[in-house]
Each structure stands twice: as structure tokens, then as C-alpha cells.
Structure 1
Amino acid sequence: MDLSDLHLPYGVASWAQLRGLGVTQSRLRRACEDGDLRLLRRGWYATRSANTSVAAAVAAGGVVSCVSALKLHGVWIPPGPRKMHIRGREAAHRSGAHRYCKQYAPPEREVDAVDGIRTALRHALKCLDEEGIVVVCDSILHQQMLERSDLDEVFIGAPRRIRRLLDRCDPGAESGTETMVRCRLRALGMRVRVQHRITGVGRVDLLVGDRLIIEIDSVEYHDRSPEQIEKDRRRDEEAARLGYVTLRFSYRRVVHEWAQAEATVLDLVRRREHVKQLAG
């Protein structure tokens, strides 16, 4: 049996998974002798092309979980320290090591080298702040990875203050930065609509009050095409003609310079720029 014929996510698998795929002990031994597989720790193996970070997490005594697993699954993750989040077996937690992520429940049995979305999210509930939790849940809902009922189940066992965050989630949010701005403005008492459609303009990321449009870049400015930039400028021009005020916040502005951006929004709101009568 050629190992390349096996479907091994991230190139890392347990002996139980290999056995389930038809690998015999003799084939496993030959693969290790030939260098096609290497032992990471008891019962876990990596191929020659295994994902380096995933293999390192398993070799360290756990599996990839929490925000690291969510990111591998394509969930939008708030910016933070670049470290691998792993969870350990029950024995690992008893060892007193502090590098393992935990959940609001006893440790679960390891199944895959990278946890599924449900398990990863349960652990992220203890690693992320409240805004971060809403960000990842918005991303999961928007991409239809899970439904709201699934999230209700995942949140079982979490403190009430964490469970109540589900009421702040919105599947309409198209990016994490959009969620971040929405949460921050609503926390200031502003009425914010998500992905609101304006005749002649189209959908806008956020509409504060009646006429303050806020568009948010989910990536750095230089990653946007000239065509997209020109399209955005034309949209802003049409919105101005109709009497709307438009603010555009870059990824950097939202993530690293929010205090200044927030001050701009507050100044406009204090001047009632968000509720003035629109042009006919």
C-alpha cells in the first residue's frame, strides 16, 4: 500500500486512524524503516510532507486546537500572538504543564491531529476575549460551517456571560474587522445595521443611524486590486450624491489604530451627521 494513496489530513495520523485505513503493523514498520513515516510520540505518526506545525504540536503531547485549529479550518481569527494552540490529553493536564488550552469541561479524547470546529471552538472560549469570541462565531456562521443551534450546543457549560455573547453574533458579517467595528460601536450605544442595502449604492458593510456608511477592509490596502479601489471610489461618490457620509477604515486602522478611528465616528455622531435628512 502506497502511503500517498491514503488521505491523511496535514500528514499526521494516529495508529488507530492508519489501522482504519487498512495499514497493517508490518506495513507501518516498513514505512518507518523507509522514512515514509516517522514516530512523533507513542501512537502518532507523520509523513515526509506533514505540516510542520501540526507535527510539532502532536510531538509536544497534544493536538492542534483552539484558535490555531479554527484558523486551519478557514475561520477568521482576531490578530494576536503567533503561537500554536494545542490541547493535551487528560494525563498531560495532570502533569501540570501550562501550555495546553482548556475548555469548560474535562479534556476530550484525541481523535485527529487537528481538532474539528466544535472542539476547537469550545477551547477558544477560554482563550479569546469577548470580542474575539463574537468574531470567530460570526465567521463560522457566515461561512455556514455551523448553525446557530450548533453553537448553542458548543457553548453549553460555559459561564453565562460567555453564553450571552451568542446574542451579539450576526451571520451577515463578511469579515472579522467588520464584526470588531460593529461590536465596538454598539457598545457605545449606536444603532448599527449590517450589510445594509442602499438603492443606487448597493450593500454597505455598516450603516450607523440613517446616513453614516462605514466600509471596512478585511485585508491590507495594498492587497486590493486597482479595479476594486476604483469601484469603491465610484460607490462613495454615488453615496455622497444621495446625501450619505462615508468612512472607510483599513485593516490597520481597525486592528492597530482604533482609538483614532473611533474618535472620528464619535465626532460625526455628536454633530448628528448620522441622522440628517437625506437628499430627495
Structure 2
Amino acid sequence: MLSARHVVESAGGVAPTSALVDAHVGRAAVDRALACGELVRVRRGWIATATADPLLVGAARAGVVLSCVTEARRRELWVLDDDHLPHVAAPAHSGRASTAGALVHWSTPLVPRNPGTLTDEIENVLALVAFCQPHEAALAIWESALRKGLVDLRAMRRLDLPPAARRLCDEADPFADSGLESLVVPRLRWMRLPLRRQIWIVGRPVDLLIGDRLVLQIDGGHHVGAQREADIAHDAELALRGYHVIRVGYRAIIDDWPAVQSRIMRAVAQGLHLAA
């Protein structure tokens, strides 16, 4: 028979007491685990291990689920938002949740929520992200979810999506390679030039091909050491074949986009995006 602690750990560290009943763990075993500090009572109907994730414990205590950018970050999606205030979801017009210190999304979920879970379904997460976040930040999260295979656009379109989510569903590209790409492409569409992501040229993909010959390479945190040397060599090969390469980093895109855009505009003005 499984121990009380093992059952709760298997559920992610926080579980409804019904999970212990379903696992045939007796009341005496639960009381022993509580007495020795292996488990703690969160509130009526919920129990946790002593080392459980504080976000999950807080959600159980408040009667909400983790959602929006908080759950997106927990799922390791690309989240630009740096506000670490927990985002949670509760049923529309619910007066039961006690949510001090959290941003609460009072909404009817697209996908029904199991009352025994503390984290929202990915479809609900993305719908709340669409409502909560600026468009390009939300797009980066959506494309990150597509990249990880967590959601299917065809299935999303069959849901009763609100307008902001419907727009993201139409714009999201499942082939985006990074969150930075998700930010850059919409910012350049006004130029009305072909923008092709992850095109293979000289044996490797380039992040963005603008027109026929202008390559924008976007460096994330992994572009160091051997990766950096390979990038430099590839840039040289591209130049030998008539491509013009602009390489930018994370901070330039996030903190100094006007300078990046100006560089691209000047390259286009010189015709560096055109085939010879």
C-alpha cells in the first residue's frame, strides 16, 4: 500500500484528500503523516507535503488555479512579462476565493476545470494570456506553446475563443524558433516585405530572411562558445554568397528596438534585401 506522503508527492505535492481515499490510504496513516510533519493541512479538503511548491499551496488555500503567465512560466513557455505577481483563475462571479497578493482572472473557462486540480488547462491559459498581455507578448507565449506541441491550432479554432484569442490563433506561427522571433516579425510587417523564418541557407537555418538577401540573426543566451564560433563562420559563408547579415541580441530587441529597426530600414533603403 502507498504511503500518504507518496500519494501526495505523486499528485505534485498538493492534493485533495479525496486522492488519499481513492488510493486506499486510511485516516490513521494520514494522521501519522501530519503528526510527524511529512504532510501539512492546507485547508479543508486539501493536504500538501512540507516542501510543496508555494504557488500550488497558495492556489489550494485560495480555491483557485494557477493560470495565465504564471502557469505559462511553469510550463516553461517563453514569457516576456517580468511581473512575478501570481496570476490565477477563478470561476466568473465566484465569491469564495481568497486571493490577496495575486492577480485574479474571473472567467468562464473554455475547457472545464477539474475541481481536484490546481493548474489550468493549456487552452484556458492561452485564452487568458490573450486577454491579459500585450499582443506581441501574448503571441510569443502562444508560439512557444505551439513549438512545444502543447496545443494544436485546429483544435483551438474549434473553441469559443474571445476576439483577442481568435486573432492570436490566426497569427501564431507554429514554426517560430524562439520568443524573440515572435516579437520581431510582427514589428516588421509594416515594411510589406517578404519575411521568412527559419529558411535553410548554406546548410543552416537563418532566423529571418527579409526579402531575398537580408538576413536577421537573433542571438539568445545560448549563443556562446562553440555556438558563437559556428555562428560567425556561417555569417561569413552567407556574406560570400551575397547575403547581408544583421545580428542582434536579446537586450537590443527588448530594450533598444528602435535602433534595431533603424539598422534594418537603412539596409533596405540601400537595397541590401534585393537579389543581385
Using structure 2 for the length normalisation, give the TM-score: 0.87
Tell me if the contact between 1:135 and 1:176 (Cα under 8 Å) persists in the aligned partners.
yes
The letter for the 2-side match of 1:243 is G
Does residue 194 of structure 1 match 2:197?
yes
Cα deviation 1:88-140 (Å, max 9, x = unaligned)? 35564577968312446599553312223223223222211221222122111
Cα deviation 1:119-165 (Å, max 9, x = unaligned)? 322322221122122212211111111211222245x2402x53122
The letter for the 2-side match of 1:263 is S
Q: Which runs of 4+ in 1 moved over 6 A?
A: 94-98
Tell me the residue number matched to 1:83: 85
Q: CA RMSD in A?
A: 2.5
Tell me the residue number matched to 1:145: 150
- Summarize the Cα distance change of 1:252–1:64 in structure 2 as closer, same or farther, 3 Å threshold: same
Residues of 1 paired with 2:258 and 2:108: CA distance? Answer: 33
SS of 1:163's equivalent in the other structure is helix
2:184 pairs, out of 162, 181, 184, with: 181
1:99 pairs, out of 99, 103, 108, with: 103
- Summarize the Cα distance change of 1:122–1:13 in structure 2 as closer, same or farther, 3 Å threshold: farther
Tell me if the contact between 2:90 and 2:107 (Cα under 8 Å) persists in the aligned partners.
no
SS of 2:51's equivalent in the other structure is coil
Tell me if the contact between 1:86 and 1:100 (Cα under 8 Å) persists in the aligned partners.
yes
- Summarize the Cα distance change of 1:208–1:116 in structure 2 as closer, same or farther, 3 Å threshold: same
Post-superposition offset of 1:237: 0.3
The letter for the 2-side match of 1:171 is P
- Summarize the Cα distance change of 1:77–1:19 in structure 2 as closer, same or farther, 3 Å threshold: farther
Unaligned 5+ segments in structure 1 are none
Using structure 1 for the length normalisation, give the TM-score: 0.86
Count of matched residue pairs:
271
Cα deviation 1:21-52 (Å, max 9, x = unaligned)? 33333333332222222122232222022112
Residues of 1 paired with 2:109 and 2:162: CA distance? Answer: 8
Tell me the residue number matched to 1:36: 38
Tell me the residue number matched to 2:243: 244
Tell me if the contact between 1:11 and 1:51 (Cα under 8 Å) persists in the aligned partners.
yes
Tell me the residue number matched to 1:269: 268
Tell me the residue number matched to 2:141: 136
Tell me the residue number matched to 2:48: 46
Residues of 1 paired with 2:81 and 2:60: CA distance? Answer: 24
- Summarize the Cα distance change of 1:81–1:27 in structure 2 as closer, same or farther, 3 Å threshold: same
- Summarize the Cα distance change of 1:88–1:25 in structure 2 as closer, same or farther, 3 Å threshold: farther
Tell me the residue number matched to 1:5: 6
2:175 pairs, out of 172, 176, 185, with: 172
Tell me if the contact between 1:102 and 1:126 (Cα under 8 Å) persists in the aligned partners.
no
Tell me if the contact between 1:178 and 1:218 (Cα under 8 Å) persists in the aligned partners.
no
- Summarize the Cα distance change of 1:123–1:23 in structure 2 as closer, same or farther, 3 Å threshold: farther
The letter for the 2-side match of 1:2 is S
Tell me the residue number matched to 2:69: 67
2:162 pairs, out of 143, 154, 158, with: 158
SS of 1:101's equivalent in the other structure is strand
Tell me the residue number matched to 2:16: 14
Residues of 2 paired with 1:41 and 1:92: CA distance? Answer: 18
Residues of 2 paired with 1:89 and 1:39: CA distance? Answer: 24
Post-superposition offset of 1:244: 0.5
Unaligned 5+ segments in structure 2 are none
Tell me if the contact between 1:36 and 1:47 (Cα under 8 Å) persists in the aligned partners.
yes
Tell me the residue number matched to 1:56: 58
Tell me the residue number matched to 2:124: 119
Tell me if the contact between 1:103 and 1:122 (Cα under 8 Å) persists in the aligned partners.
no
Tell me if the contact between 1:87 and 1:101 (Cα under 8 Å) persists in the aligned partners.
yes
